[in-house]
Amino acid sequence: MFFFKFTAIKYELIRMMKKSIVILIFLVIITSGIHAQITGLDIKVEKREMLKDVVSATGFLELNGEYFVVGDDSPWLYKLSKKFKIKKKYLIFPSGRKFDVIPEAMKPDFEAVAHYHKGELEYLLIFGSGLKSPQRDVLVKFKYGKETEAELFSMKDFYAAMRKVAGLQNDELNIAGAVISGNILFLLEHNNNLIFVFKMKEIEKYFENFKDCPLPDMFKMKLPETEGVNVGFSGATATADGNKILFTASLNGDNVHHANGSFVGLFNVLNLKNELEPLCVPVKNDGKLIEINAESVVVTKQHKNTLNLTIIGSNDSGLPEVLQLEAGFLFKK
């Protein structure tokens, strides 16, 4: 049954991707040479700057030339310019209206945001972490365009389905990244390095009446350790071809508020399997691990063999920071 379900997901991804000219161009570039294989990323830091006037930044994406940022304890969705200036903010957590920072006991812990098309409409799906149930088992469906609308939903059954599949307790699930590609939703989990895979048509059906919650496929990844400290997924985005997910990951030190350091990695969604060890490299400058907790990433430009990346995260001050990188592909033929 498991094999059948995921095979169907694979075929659906392939079918959607064949419709895109972008994937053909990208594959010709990336696989130039016989059996070229990406074996590493050469990371170069181009710029670091503070993200001003934003209380916290945990979820991040680029849409139509603008950036959108959510925070784990912020009631706002921020729209930023390419220079990271606030253009507008939208209330997405009404009960937090009177707070600049939502109190710990009631915060929804928004950690992940994904872009979603439904016909001619565009939406952002903003996910709570699920780390505390039921207050963090929430989703905001934000309609984007000339008119905007934010709807907050309890997703208790949805998060319970992920815990059931993974065998986790209420305080063990921690969703940190979300990507929708090829009509498939990928949710990346931080504490256990899990990837949950849903078909969007099943999610859409669930949205109609919040009954018959779909069960996801699940894969456990193997990320590196540094001096015995585990690395956990913290954010994600899709590359231009749609069949690769680029992710950030951060070190899990004893002090969660300390910036321990972060990683950038890549995996092919068509090759997902349990115990997969995806490409994952540390973010260093002058040979030293940068003390930043990366929260999410977007691809700002894609060249022949390089990606320009923008990462949001936090440093030891706890304030949001922007890190701009160039990631060059390393190949083995």
CA 80/CA 87 separation, integer angstroms = 5
Query: Would you say residue 53 has pLDDT above 60?
Result: yes
Q: Are 77 and 123 in contact (CB under 8 A)?
A: no
Domain boundaries, the chain: 2-332
10 — pLDDT class (breaks 50, 70, 90): low
Q: CA of 192: how far to CAs of 159, 181, 304, in Å?
A: 15, 23, 34
Q: What is the mean pLDDT of residues 94-120?
A: 89
Check residues 23 and 207 and name the one with the higher pLDDT: 207
Select 2-332's CATH number: 2.115.10, 1.25.40, 3.30.980, 3.40.50: 2.115.10
The answer to whether the CB of 227 falls within 8 A of the CB of 12 is no
The CA radius of gyration of the chain, in Å to the nearest whole number, is 19
The pLDDT of residue 15 is 53
Residue 128 has pLDDT above 60, yes or no: yes
Residue 187 pLDDT more than 70? Answer: yes
pLDDT tens per residue, range 275-332 = 999 999 999 988 888 888 999 999 999 888 899 999 999 887 778 999 999 999 888 7
Pairing status of strand 149-154 against strand 138-144? antiparallel
C-alpha–C-alpha distance, residues 15 and 19, integer Å:
7
Instruction: Name the band, by pLDDT with cuts 50, 70 and 90, for residue 36.
Output: low
Residue 33 region by backbone torsions, left for phi larger than 0, else alpha for psi between -120 and 50, else beta: left
